[in-house]
């Protein structure tokens, strides 16, 4: 057996010993040597054993193995505060009124591309002193034809919901995020919402309601500036610009999913409690 090793073989041996060290294997004994049928030229020089057990330990320079950095925890954003919404940049107009807002919009608004296909601007409908405001998504075909919000099938269901609360439609105020019908009743796009949002905010400020109810995900996401699904905060009170806001399902959704009516009725009962309204008494038969 040669007394010295070839440089390449010595390098391989050192790498192998470091590998065993990383596995926390530090003691090597003669009975672990390969069998005789392995070529002697490939074997390292034998390690001389000593009577001292400590001498059997091969001490190699310690290497520091750094643990991989842990990724930062991810948090799902909550409903964004009103300060980050599209409505923050809109200041309250002194001595504003619904009539003045409607005049400022004008009869032929071209502030967004929705004017290309609309027939009528649907401004809003109801009491200028309402304590309760409903905000929907946008006008549909019936609303575009009549110039009034929520007059189609979904509108009739909303009227029934309002009457079930013990109110009349003329006692509340109803409006939409955008005032012109999106083509094919699609959801309003961000630039369209941005063009209409100052006037919607002025409407709400001029009425000064106690409670705002967002009908559907589009209205809720627009006012709250959130991407969360409506089911995650439906029926919960959210403070919005000093007022109480609640999101619930759109009446059009209820027409497609009647079982959800019970959820909406629970939400409306919370609204009634906030407004100090009592449940209508059932008529005796």
- So what's the pLDDT on residue 25? 56
- CATH code reported for the domain at 82-275: 3.40.470.10
**pLDDT for the residue numbered 30:** 46
pLDDT of residue 50: 46
Residue predicted with more confidence, 7 or 51: 7
Taking each helix axis from N to C end, the angle separating 153-164 and 261-275, rounded to the nearest 10 degrees, works out to 50
Q: Is 144 helix (H, G, I), strand (E, B) or coil?
A: helix
pLDDT band, very low/low/confident/very high, at 244 (cuts 50, 70, 90): very high
User: Which residues, listed in sequence order, are joined to residue 244 by a DSSP beta bridge?
Assistant: 211, 239
Tell me how far CA of residue 150 lies from CA of 4, 78, 131, 242, 269, in angstroms: 95, 30, 19, 27, 21
| CB-CB contact of 167 with 132 (8 Å) | yes
- Listed in sequence order, the residues at least 6 apart from 183 whose beta carbon sits closer than 8 Å to its beta carbon are 117
Query: Token pair 């490939």 is at which residue?
Result: 42
Nearest to 179 by CA among 80, 91, 101, 90: 101
At 24 the pLDDT is 54
In the chain, domain spans: 10-56, 82-275
Supply 255's token pair.
């027409």
Beta bridge partners of 27: 57
Lowest mean pLDDT among 2-16, 230-244, 248-262: 2-16
Please give the average per-residue pLDDT across 230-256, as a whole number: 97
pLDDT in tens, 86-112: 555 456 677 899 999 999 999 999 999
Provide the percentage of residues in the chain whose pLDDT is more than 90. 64
Q: What integer best gives the mean pLDDT of the chain?
A: 81
pLDDT 10s digits, 49-83: 444 444 444 444 454 444 444 444 333 334 444 44
Percent of the chain with pLDDT over 70: 70
Question: Looking up tokens 């009528």, which residue turns up?
Answer: 120
């Amino acid at each position: 057996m040669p007394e010295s090793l070839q440089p390449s073989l010595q390098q391989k041996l050192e790498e192998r010993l470091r590998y065993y060290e990383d596995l926390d294997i530090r003691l090597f004994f003669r009975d672990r040597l390969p069998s005789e049928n392995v070529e002697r030229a490939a074997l390292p020089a034998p390690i001389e054993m000593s009577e001292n057990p400590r001498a059997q330990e091969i001490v190699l320079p310690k290497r520091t193995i750094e643990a991989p950095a842990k990724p930062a925890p991810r948090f799902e954003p909550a409903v964004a505060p009103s300060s980050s919404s599209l409505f923050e940049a809109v200041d309250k107009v002194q001595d504003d009124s619904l009539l003045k807002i409607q005049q400022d919009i004008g009869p032929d608004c071209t502030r967004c591309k929705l004017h290309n296909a609309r027939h009528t601007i649907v401004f809003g409908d109801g009491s200028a002193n309402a304590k309760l405001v409903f905000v929907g998504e946008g006008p549909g075909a019936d609303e575009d034809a009549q110039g009034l919000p929520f007059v189609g099938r979904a509108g009739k269901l909303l009227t029934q919901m309002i009457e079930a609360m013990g109110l009349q439609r003329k006692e509340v105020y109803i409006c939409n995020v955008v005032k012109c019908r999106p083509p094919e009743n699609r959801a309003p796009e961000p630039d369209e919402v941005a063009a209409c949002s100052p006037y919607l905010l002025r409407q709400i400020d001029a009425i000064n309601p106690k409670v705002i109810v967002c009908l559907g995900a589009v209205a809720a996401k627009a006012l709250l500036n959130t991407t969360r699904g409506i089911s995650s905060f439906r029926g919960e009170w959210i403070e919005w610009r000093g007022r109480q806001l609640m999101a619930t399902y759109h009446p059009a959704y209820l027409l497609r999913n009647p079982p959800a009516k019970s959820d909406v009725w629970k939400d409306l009962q919370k609204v009634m409690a906030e407004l100090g309204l009592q449940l209508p008494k059932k008529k005796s038969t």
